[in-house]
Amino acid sequence: MVEETPNRDGAGAQGELFPDTALPDELVGYRGPAACQIAGITYRQLDYWARTGLVQPSIRSASGSGSQRLYSFKDILVLKVVKRLLDTGVSLQNIRVAVDHLRRRGVQDLARITLFSDGTTVYECTSPEEVVDLLQGGQGVFGIAVSGAMREISGTIHEFPAERADGVEISPPTDDELAKRRRARRTG
């Protein structure tokens, strides 16, 4: 069960975490093996979660032998959050409720959320005041800042091959000066 704590000040918006150009559009996706590496899960977990409906690819699902699932940025973010919740001992049943709640949010909305859990219930907090209220109530053993997971993913996702669902070719990103220096240092 995901419980929203009321936002007392009504604001809660911290500005956009990423400019719109930093996030892939809704047609850009990553195949299963890349999604696994980015989210830090096994392919067996990915396959099970897709087959049971926990986290299904929103861009393209598998449609027979040889077809490839295509996971969006948001899908991979949810995979990473599921992994973190599992690692902390939250039951799969409660994770399913949390994932259903997260699916209804846009990527920018997710950047404002911190999930807390007492091992039984998952709570959503969107402001520092909500976190304090939750902790003062004696609840909330651990927290997962969704924005932190977003930063991790956005830092590594560009290292993996992406493809568009409509088949349009994705041009490789151009390297800036810093990226060229890093690559030169690694190779030689």
Q: What is the pLDDT of residues 64-121, one digit of tens each?
A: 766 789 999 989 999 999 999 888 888 888 888 888 877 777 777 787 888 887 777 7
Q: Would 141 be classed as within a structural domain? A: no
Q: Domain range spanning residue 35? A: 23-105+148-187
Task: For strands 2-4 and 122-125, give the pairing.
Answer: parallel
Q: What is the rounded CA–CA span in Å between residue 43 and residue 65? A: 16
Query: What is the CATH classification number for the domain harbouring 85?
Result: 1.10.1660.10
143-184 pLDDT, tens digit per residue, is 788 888 888 998 888 889 888 887 777 766 556 677 677 777
Is the pLDDT at 7 greater than 60? The verdict is no
**Would you say residue 165 lies in a domain?**
yes
pLDDT in tens, 84-99: 988 888 888 888 888 8
What's the number of domains the chain is made of? 1
Residue type, 46: L
Task: For residue 169, give the DSSP letter.
Answer: P
Give the Cα separation of 168 and 174 in Å (integer). 18
Q: Are 89 and 141 in contact (CB under 8 A)?
A: no
Instruction: Judge whether 74 lies within some domain.
Output: yes
Residue 129: inside a domain: no
